[in-house]
Chains A and B, each alone.
Chain A
Amino acid sequence: MERRRSFPDVLAGGIFVLIGGAFVVGSLNYELGTPLRMGPGYFPLLVGVILAALGLLIVGKGLVAGEVLSFGAVPWRAVGVIVVAVVFFGYSVRRLGFVPTSAVTALLITLASRQVRWLTALAVAAGLTVASTLIFVVGLQLRIPLWGPWLSF
């Protein structure tokens, strides 16, 4: 195989080292115990070390003989919009109520596509709000208020 450096491999390995390391540091705060009677920190420490070690191996391999050569484009708009939309849903479903939250969330998500037109977005959002209200609240009797405390005067 040709020797070449691979950014995605190094990135993946780096993520593993970082998360494994974080769990190692975290588990040192808990009682480790002995192998006979393992404390809450023992197993996470063990697996954390394994993950960090695997991460280092992947980084090393990525530097000399990588596998994935191109990371490809990132749809930043979609990433941003979807993060905002889903966090908005989690934060406000209790406060604004089911109907307005679903409508806003759906509208936001449709904007993740670069090709969307406003009219399509509105139509899709409206349709999805009606459908999800019918399915989840009317059909499955989910106990979420349709209109939340922020909207009751």
Chain B
Amino acid sequence: MDLLDNLALGFSTAFLVQNVLYCFVGVLLGTAVGVLPGIGPTATVAMLLPITFNFEPVTALIMLAGIYYGAQYGGSTTAILINLPGESSAAVTALDGHEMARQGRAGPALAAAAIGSFVAGTLATVALAVAAPPLARVALQFGPADYFSLVLFGLIVSIALARGSTLKALAMIALGVLLGMVGQDIYTGLPRFVFDQRELYGGIDFVSVAVGMFGVAEILRNLEDEQTRTAVVSRVKNLWPTREDRRRIVGPILRGTGLGSALGVLPGGGHVLASFTSYAVEKRVSKRQQEFGRGAIEGVAGPESANNAAAQTSFIPLLTLGLPAHPVMALMVGAFIVHGITPGPNVISDEPALFWGLIASMWIGNVLLVLLNLPLIGVWVRMLRIPYQVLFPMIILFAAIGTYSLSFNAYDVYAIVFFGILGYVLIKCGCEPAPLLLGFVLGPLLEENLRRALIISRGDASVFLTRPISAVFLALAVAALVVAVLPAIRRRREVVFAEDE
């Protein structure tokens, strides 16, 4: 069987000593930043990206991927123990998870989250392995017009799923696209918007944008209101769930995995949406609806499985189309490109060891996460006591050093400050930073494919509607926009998300 051969190739790559080691480093770091409030996977991956330039490509990607799904895992620990979701997707977990912790059942809650995540991660990895190759074959037939429409669709879906004002999210995308145009024009080589500064000819570095928007801006927000965090951490005992608990979590885990695997493919907040949807579904199908919000274990197992499954399948658009579904994926595009690999449908045939190695490493990473989290839960709890006064200088200093080491260009460091302040002001005004980042990464693709499609069609703009693939994506994009703007659906969306507060 093809699939088995491929997986064998993958595991033989992923089990190389250095790959297991860096997979471990990745999930360890990921768990740590997931646990620590105030620093998320995006800023971490951005800071560590330069470090991975010396690695083998597959090793670099395995580690970066580990940080991403490790963080989804770590976020749930703090959500359960101190009602502080380290990651947005863990916000739902806090509802019932923290309630369970207050009733002295933190152990089973953590175990349900860990088991659910592991099962979901394993099944979603299989889904990824099965679904990616056929999708990549389809993607090979895409022309420039199709790519343009696909990218546009991706950008619009990402805001339809995001929270907050649709107008602002659209504006953030446009702003990101514009900022992505600084630097030399792809067709003529003419430097644009560089203010005669030679250092800007190469464009603004993506890492500076990510570190500024997600690192510095976040720290400024935390410094607004300085209170010594009184982390009342409940003691964790009786980790193993009872037989009754085990019986109750089977269904939610499987349903969560299915939902998460499907929704994770969508660009934008796929994993956040997955956990919210899973919670809503579990609440509806449960026979004990009144227990939800008062410590129902289903409310922990379902969403946790869903967000972990989504974290795995969000690699599908990246690996088959070269489209990042999440800011962390956008950073991984950078990691691919640095190593001379263009992410997209060709990766699977040109770099089979890398492709399957990365997929296999996710399963290994999930095993490592269970080992890291359940027995070592005490260590993570203790990490919560690190004072913020030590943490934030470390984040900023490491960010500055890491960004500088990208290309030894001081402008990359100045850009952190610029985007930190811009991001801080915009976030305070109710704008989400993620659409800007996706626009920044996808903007150049949008421009290149638009121009190429029009050159090929001799300036006939109807090509976007006459090519069936392109037409379908455009229609979907319009539908997504309507969904995001329509007031009736909007109100319902707010109800779903309101439970987050």
> Are A and B part of the same complex?
yes
Q: Measuring CB to CB, which residues of chain A are less than 8 angstroms from any residue of chain B? A: 8-9, 11-13, 15-16, 19-20, 23, 26-27, 30-31, 34-41, 43-44, 47-48, 50-51, 54-55, 57-58, 61, 67-68, 71-75, 78-79, 82-83, 85-87, 89-91, 93-94, 102, 105-106, 109-110, 112-116, 120, 124-125, 127-128, 131-132, 136, 140-144
B304 to chain A, nearest CB (A): 31
Q: Which of B117-125, B130-138, B326-334, B411-419 sits within the interface?
A: B411-419
Q: Which of B1-9, B168-176, B242-250, B375-383 sits within the interface?
A: B168-176
Is B454 an interface position by the 8 A CB rule? yes
Is B450 an interface position by the 8 A CB rule? yes
CA A110 – CA B396 in complex, angstroms? 10
Among residues 376 to 409 in chain B, which have CB atoms less than 8 Å away from a CB atom of chain A? 388-390, 392-394, 396-398, 400-401, 404-405, 408
CA A42 – CA B201 in complex, angstroms? 19
* Contacting residue for B417 out of A86, A93, A94, A113, CB 8 A: A86
Contact between chains at A106 and B397 (CB < 8 Å): yes
- The residues of A that contact B475 with a CB separation of less than 8 Å are none
- The residues of A that contact B468 with a CB separation of less than 8 Å are none
Contact between chains at B185 and A109 (CB < 8 Å): no
Is B351 an interface position by the 8 A CB rule? no
Contact between chains at B167 and A89 (CB < 8 Å): no
- The residues of A that contact B417 with a CB separation of less than 8 Å are 82-83, 86-87
Is B492 an interface position by the 8 A CB rule? no
Contact between chains at A15 and B177 (CB < 8 Å): no
CA A93 – CA B421 in complex, angstroms? 22
Is B216 an interface position by the 8 A CB rule? yes
Q: Measuring CB to CB, which residues of chain B are less than 8 angstroms from any residue of chain A? A: 51, 54, 164-165, 167-168, 170-171, 174-175, 177-178, 181, 185, 187-188, 190, 192-193, 216, 219-220, 223-226, 228, 388-390, 392-394, 396-398, 400-401, 404-405, 408, 410-414, 416-417, 420-422, 424-426, 428-431, 443, 447, 450-451, 454-455, 458-459, 461
* Contacting residue for A75 out of B174, B224, B408, CB 8 A: B224
CA A75 – CA B222 in complex, angstroms? 9
Number of A-B residue pairs with CB-CB distance less than 8 Å in the complex they form: 198
- With contact pairs A8-B429, A11-B425, A15-B426 given, residues A51 and B397 touching in the complex (Cβ less than 8 Å): no
Q: Taking chain B's interface residues, is the majority helix, strand, or loop, or is none over half, making it mixed? A: helix
CA A78 – CA B421 in complex, angstroms? 11
Name 5 interchain pairs, CB-CB below 8 A, sorted by A.
Answer: A13-B171, A37-B455, A40-B190, A82-B220, A102-B397
Residue of B nearest to A112 (CB): B223
A25 to chain B, nearest CB (A): 10
Contact between chains at B171 and A55 (CB < 8 Å): yes
* Contacting residue for A79 out of B220, B393, B405, CB 8 A: B220
* Contacting residue for A89 out of B188, B413, B431, CB 8 A: B413
CA A45 – CA B413 in complex, angstroms? 28
- The residues of B that contact A114 with a CB separation of less than 8 Å are 226
Contact between chains at A109 and B392 (CB < 8 Å): yes
CA A88 – CA B493 in complex, angstroms? 45
- With contact pairs A19-B175, A78-B220, A82-B420 given, residues A109 and B397 touching in the complex (Cβ less than 8 Å): yes
Contact between chains at A61 and B414 (CB < 8 Å): no
Most A CB within 10 A of own CB, among B168, B190, B416: B168
- With contact pairs A58-B171, A136-B401 given, residues A93 and B429 touching in the complex (Cβ less than 8 Å): no
Residue of A nearest to B422 (CB): A15
A76 to chain B, nearest CB (A): 10
Contact between chains at A113 and B226 (CB < 8 Å): yes
Contact between chains at A110 and B393 (CB < 8 Å): yes
Most B CB within 10 A of own CB, among A41, A55, A113: A113
